[in-house]
Structure 1
């Protein structure tokens, strides 16, 4: 894996760090491939319960590396999109820990994660229009689903950023912290990692996939997602641990 992406593991949480601080962590092809490879590891290793995606040097990601773009490089992984994450999602949760700027593709990358924790001084925006471009990594299609249309329009057409607090008020950010975003993200990740992994994965899948379901089919369509969970060893272990007033020992099966 490229040194432009650093990976570490602690307490069942995979931490993935974009390591191009000299370029404000602008997305290169190598970084996109590194993030994609890290997500493969998240999927493959049963002991990993969730991931945190962050940036080195006080910035999350300033978007596409325009120097690379001018040289003909696109920071996209086939089938996975910008940064290896905007066109798909792993089964396990991914938390974005945002310090500094999450701009253009950087904001789209954060939105591709399942949750966002941000430092109070962080800024979010899709300034592509200021550069004659369009936020094609999901910004102009996902923001209207997450925000009132008028607010999505403002972000896309002005290109102006918003603060972490404003993003929190709009429901784009889960938590705002005065300390490093990674610390608050670790606390959130630890809480998730303590829960049943099958239940977490099924819950994530239903929340994401149900965006496309007809309202009349919601209860029926979730059935296949949860049937295996209720029949699992983990479900029995969870109930037994509760009765015995102890911490459950999850097996992921």
Structure 2
């Protein structure tokens, strides 16, 4: 039975796609994922997205839903998937994809909606949709090109080729590879992040994400505005005081 589970560990939320045998993204899974994302509260300081088992992170959409799909249904399918992945991307908390196996099609698109990606050595990533005579529809054509550049994105999308974890790291598709568990690596990164000023981390995420949609001059103005807002927080005062007092800061998201 397909399900998406939620677990909270030390203020780190873990979303696990469990849809045997390869964690496919059918409509039931997407609906559960959307519901979990909607329920994420301020006590969650970071989020990890992963797949159950060791074979697959998420190996794409459920192809069984495709045969009867016409133009209107196809467009609606894309809008629904994009809306859910956009909600993940828009979370104020940092979101890490723990890629523990195959991340193909919608699975890679899900990983691309996260802030950064860590992978196990056996991970394989790709957008193979043209093999089915369709194109990526959950944001892959847009997010991949923005992440690794249009030329490399086109090469991977046009050819439907998978890349290894090592190649994905080389081209900037994943940010780190671990010798052990991708989930453990993601937890380690999340553990580091939640020790930092949470309001500052959230502002930094907003500055990067929104700034990429702007001209440089407007992005710099946004950065200055957010910096100024952070200067009015108790967390800034605590962080600076802790620096001078040579102690660990105690941030309170205020």
The answer to whether the superposition gives a TM-score over 0.5 is yes
Aligned partners of 1:93 and 1:51: how far apart in 2? 6
What's the secondary structure of 2:48's corresponding residue? strand
TM-aligned CA deviation for residue 217 of structure 1:
2.7
Partner of 1:10: 9
Q: Contact between 2:78 and 2:138, CA under 8 Å: does it hold in 1? A: no
Select the residue among 19, 38, 47 that pairs with 1:51. Answer: 47
Partner of 2:85: 85
Aligned partners of 2:84 and 2:34: how far apart in 1? 5
Aligned partners of 2:244 and 2:174: how far apart in 1? 36
Matches within 5 A, 1:59-78: 59-70=56-67
1:161 counterpart = 2:162: yes
Deviation by residue 1:11-66 (Cα, 9 ceiling, x = unmatched): 110000001132x0000222222222222333x2x321110000001211011111
Closer/same/farther in 2, CA of residues 77 and 136 from structure 1, 3 Å limit = closer
Aligned partners of 1:164 and 1:113: how far apart in 2? 17
Matches within 5 A, 1:167-246: 167-246=168-247
Partner of 1:36: 34
TM-aligned CA deviation for residue 220 of structure 1:
1.5
What's the secondary structure of 1:220's corresponding residue? helix
TM-aligned CA deviation for residue 128 of structure 1:
0.2
Deviation by residue 1:55-82 (Cα, 9 ceiling, x = unmatched): 00121101111123446688x8997734
Partner of 1:26: 24
Mark the runs of 5 or more structure 1 residues left unpaired by the alignment.
none
TM-score (norm 1): 0.90
Closer/same/farther in 2, CA of residues 233 and 122 from structure 1, 3 Å limit = same
Deviation by residue 1:145-183 (Cα, 9 ceiling, x = unmatched): 222433211101110100111110111111101211000
Deviation by residue 1:194-221 (Cα, 9 ceiling, x = unmatched): 1111000000011111112112333222
TM-score (norm 2): 0.90
Q: Contact between 1:21 and 1:57, CA under 8 Å: does it hold in 2? A: no
Aligned residues: 249
Instruction: Name the stretch that deviates more: 241-250 or 159-168.
Output: 241-250
What's the secondary structure of 2:117's corresponding residue? strand
Q: Contact between 2:58 and 2:102, CA under 8 Å: does it hold in 1? A: yes
Mark the runs of 5 or more structure 2 residues left unpaired by the alignment.
none
Closer/same/farther in 2, CA of residues 64 and 251 from structure 1, 3 Å limit = same
